[in-house]
């Protein structure tokens, strides 16, 4: 089953044990750009899930015992091919998920290659195997591959978020079954071709396509699976945790957010405003986005005025156009959900200072960048994740009030803080519940740093050593050094 998207051939089949496998049933893949059907994709179920885990389990011992330097060499080869095919990956991803071609070309796809290079190099150069001496005994810590990793990924940054899991899992010596989101199945399929061409052995990397609720349980409840890493919504995480509980399979969850973006009166206002407007990037479909603008009341009017002036220059349109800043929402269902949040907020008394509805000129799934003011404390628009181009603005008068407002949701993914006062930055950062704090910046991401969420924003951390900690069975071998006879 071959689809052609922007002149690129993309298989609609699964990738299991080094072979393309088709299901009798299929589902349509729709582009958010114009809601056209762009591909037909195999609709996997328990049979395909089982086959993929079997292939991954069968290839696990050989991959686990492949020397780290050889695993690293193969991952660099994957990165080389990603770089060779960068334009193809970028355009297919843009048509599939509606995110900007400009971002895919300049930032995202180079980063995909970097994901593989980083974890390959980290494995070889940076992963420490500590040794401890204890009263005549020697302790040695090793990182043993845990087995089969099931990786379930979302649609908002499909290949970027998939490879952010695939690369460390493969580096750690796990074999992988990747289940991409059904709204964006294409680049996972292209990644399968890339791993084949890179020489990754058959069965080490597998892809199962399908609807989460149909294929999910069979993957997450399989006793042969040693790790589950999932990025997506809180309700789905609960289902996966329940399914994984039967086998006590460790899970890593990266979930939603409702992150605060705090601006103190002493902040560099140009930078604060520029970064605030950037929260519309990817049409607001970013779990990390600082969507609650909390502004010290002394500068509220100035901030809002400058924000609106800058936001007026944001160009919405076809994401293939390199001049576009904000594209469409991922799907009709998601678009209606975003609109529902905005309508209910306005009915409840909030005022749209910007946007507030669909972009009627563009039609389709284009939702106007929106800024809402005046929402009542506790309103759902201030507590629930919208995942669209919708920001709220509120004011505060004291540091303590800002901290209380910032921490006032069930989430704890990220916090963004703008202030010129270093002591204040340290005080406030220390008190915010967040896996990542960005102080006077946003979205700077070093792969050595831990990444994840607190509260309902996630379970566990990945990145650098934390990724190996998750994908490996960490073993300590304690040896009495006086008992050798040979």
Compare residues 239 and 308 and give the one whose CB is closer to ligand ADP: 239
Determine if 26 is a binding residue for ligand ADP (CB under 6 A): no
* 184 interacts with ligand ADP by CB under 6 A: no
Residue 306 is a binding residue for ligand ADP (CB under 6 A): no
> Is position 287 annotated as part of the catalytic site?
yes
- Asked if 212 interacts with ligand ADP (CB under 6 A), we say yes
Q: Is 227 in the site for ligand ADP (CB under 6 A)?
A: no
CB 434 within 8 A of CB 267: no
Near ligand ADP by CB under 6 A, which window of 16-24, 150-158, 403-411, 467-475? 150-158
Q: Which stretch binds ligand ADP (CB under 6 A): 85-93, 130-138, 176-184, 360-368?
A: 176-184
Task: State yes or no: residue 126 binds ligand ADP (CB under 6 A).
Answer: no
Residue 233 in the binding site for ligand ADP (CB under 6 A):
yes
Decide: is 11 part of the binding site for ligand ADP (CB under 6 A): no
Contact flag: residue 232 with ligand ADP (CB under 6 A) = yes
From candidates 71, 85, 104, 179, binder to ligand ADP by CB under 6 A: 179
Contacts of 336 (CB under 8 A, 6+ apart): none
- The reply to whether 41 sits near ligand ADP by the rule CB under 6 A is no
Contact 280, 388 (CB under 8 A): no
Smallest gap, in angstroms, from Cβ of residue 6 to ligand ADP? 23
Residue 1 binds ligand ADP (CB under 6 A) = no
Work out whether 321 is an interface residue with ligand ADP (CB under 6 A). no
Cβ 161 to ligand ADP, closest distance in Å? 10
Which CB atom, from 212 or from 284, has the smaller least distance to ligand ADP? Answer: 212
- Single out the residue of 59, 115, 236, 436 in contact with ligand ADP (rule: CB under 6 A): 236
For position 240 contacting ligand ADP by CB under 6 A, the verdict is yes
- By the rule CB under 6 A, 239 interacts with ligand ADP: yes
Nearest distance, CB of residue 40 and ligand ADP, angstroms = 17
**336 is annotated as an active-site residue:** no
HEC secondary structure over the chain: CEEEECCEEEECCEEECCEEECCCCEEEEECCCCCCEEEEEECCCHHHHHHHHHHHHHHHHHHHCCCHHHHHHHHHHHHHHHHHCHHHHHHHHHHHHCCCHHHHHHHHHHHHHHHHHHHHHHHHHHCCCCEEEECCEEEEEEEEECCEEEEECCCCCHHHHHHHHHHHHHHCCCEEEEECCCCCCHHHHHHHHHHHHHCCCCCCEEECCCCHHHHHHHHHCCCCEEEEEEECCHHHHHHHHHHHHCCCCCEEEECCCCEEEEECCCCCHHHHHHHHHHHHHHHHCCCCCEEEEEEEHHHHHHHHHHHHHHHCCCCECCCCCCCCCECCCCCHHHHHHHHHHHHHHHHCCCEEEECCCECCCCCCCCECCEEEECCCCCCHHHHCCCCCCEEEEEEECCHHHHHHHHCCCCCCCEEEEECCCHHHHHHHHHHCCCCEEEECCCCCCCCCCCECCCHHHEECCECHHHHHHHHEEEEEEEEECCCCCC
| Residue 336 interacting with ligand ADP (CB under 6 A) | no
Minimum Å gap between C-beta 254 and ligand ADP is 10
Stretch of 95-103, 174-182, 336-344, 424-432 lying at the interface with ligand ADP (CB under 6 A): 174-182
Q: Does 462 bind ligand ADP (CB under 6 A)?
A: no
Residues in Cβ contact with 480 at an 8 Å cutoff, skipping those fewer than 6 apart: 136, 137
Total residue count of the chain as it appears in this document: 486
Active-site residue, selected from the candidate residues 48, 174, 251, 287: 287
> Sign (positive/negative) of CA torsion 143, 120, 59, 158?
positive
150 vs 375 by CB, closer to ligand ADP: 150
Residue tagged 């220390």 (tokens): 430
User: Is 213 one of the binding residues for ligand ADP (CB under 6 A)?
Assistant: yes
Q: Which is nearer to ligand ADP, 222 or 318 (CB)?
A: 222
Given the complex with ligand ADP, which of 222 and 296 has the nearer CB atom? 222
Size of the site for ligand ADP (CB under 6 A): 15
- Between 303 and 470, CB nearer to ligand ADP: 470
Closest CA to 264 of 393, 392, 421, 414: 421
- Nearest approach in angstroms of CB 181 to ligand ADP is 4
Q: Is 249 in the site for ligand ADP (CB under 6 A)?
A: no
463 forms part of the interface with ligand ADP (CB under 6 A): no
Give yes or no for residue 331 binding ligand ADP (CB under 6 A): no
Chain centroid, CA 276 distance in Å: 20
Q: From the list 181, 244, 350, 391, which residue makes contact with ligand ADP (rule: CB under 6 A)?
A: 181
301 interacts with ligand ADP by CB under 6 A: no
| Interface residue list for ligand ADP (CB under 6 A) | 152-154, 179, 181-182, 212-213, 216, 220, 232-233, 236, 239-240
Hey, which residues are catalytic here? 254, 287
């Amino acid at each position: 089953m071959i689809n052609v998207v922007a002149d690129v051939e993309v298989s609609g089949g699964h990738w299991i044990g080094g072979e393309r496998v088709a299901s009798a049933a299929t589902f349509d893949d729709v582009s958010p750009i114009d809601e056209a059907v762009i591909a037909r994709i195999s609709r996997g179920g328990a049979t395909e899930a089982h086959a993929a885990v079997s292939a991954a389990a069968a290839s696990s011992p050989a991959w686990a015992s492949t020397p780290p330097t050889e695993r690293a060499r193969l991952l660099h080869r994957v990165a080389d091919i990603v770089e060779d095919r960068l334009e193809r990956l970028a355009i297919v991803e843009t048509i599939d998920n509606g995110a900007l071609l400009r971002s895919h070309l300049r930032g995202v796809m180079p980063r995909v290659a970097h994901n593989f290079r980083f974890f390959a190099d980290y494995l070889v150069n940076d992963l420490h195997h500590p040794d401890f001496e204890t009263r005549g005994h020697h302790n040695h810590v090793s990182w043993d591959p845990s087995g089969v990793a099931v990786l379930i990924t979302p649609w908002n940054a499909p290949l970027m978020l998939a490879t952010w899991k695939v690369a460390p899992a493969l580096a750690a010596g796990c074999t992988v079954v990747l289940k991409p989101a059904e709204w964006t199945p294409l680049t996972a399929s292209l990644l399968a071709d890339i791993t084949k061409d890179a020489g990754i052995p058959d069965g080490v990397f597998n892809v199962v396509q399908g609807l989460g609720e149909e294929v999910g349980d069979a993957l997450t409840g399989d006793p042969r699976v040693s790790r589950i890493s999932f990025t997506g919504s809180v309700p789905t995480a609960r289902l996966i945790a329940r399914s994984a509980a039967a086998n006590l399979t460790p899970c890593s969850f990266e979930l939603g957010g409702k992150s605060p973006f705090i601006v103190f009166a002493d902040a560099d206002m140009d930078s604060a405003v520029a970064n605030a407007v950037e929260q519309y990037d990817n049409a607001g479909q970013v779990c990390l986005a600082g969507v609650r603008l909390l502004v010290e009341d002394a500068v509220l009017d100035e901030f809002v005025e400058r924000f609106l002036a800058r936001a007026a220059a944001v160009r919405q349109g076809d994401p293939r156009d390199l001049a576009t800043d904000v594209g469409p929402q991922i799907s009709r269902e998601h678009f209606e959900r975003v609109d529902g949040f905005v309508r209910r907020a306005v009915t409840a008394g909030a005022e749209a200072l910007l946007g507030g509805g669909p972009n009627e000129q563009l039609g389709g799934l284009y939702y106007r960048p929106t800024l809402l003011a005046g929402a009542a404390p506790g309103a759902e628009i201030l507590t629930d994740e919208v995942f669209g181009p919708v920001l709220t603005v509120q004011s505060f008068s004291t540091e303590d009030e800002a901290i209380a407002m910032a921490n006032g949701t069930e989430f704890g993914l990220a916090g963004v803080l703008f202030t010129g006062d270093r002591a204040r930055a340290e005080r406030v950062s220390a008190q915010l519940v967040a896996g990542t704090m960005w102080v006077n910046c946003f979205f700077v991401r070093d792969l050595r740093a831990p990444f994840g969420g607190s509260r309902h924003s996630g379970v566990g951390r990945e990145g650098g050593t934390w990724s190996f900690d998750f994908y490996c069975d960490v073993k300590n071998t304690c040896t009495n050094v006086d008992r050798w006879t040979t």
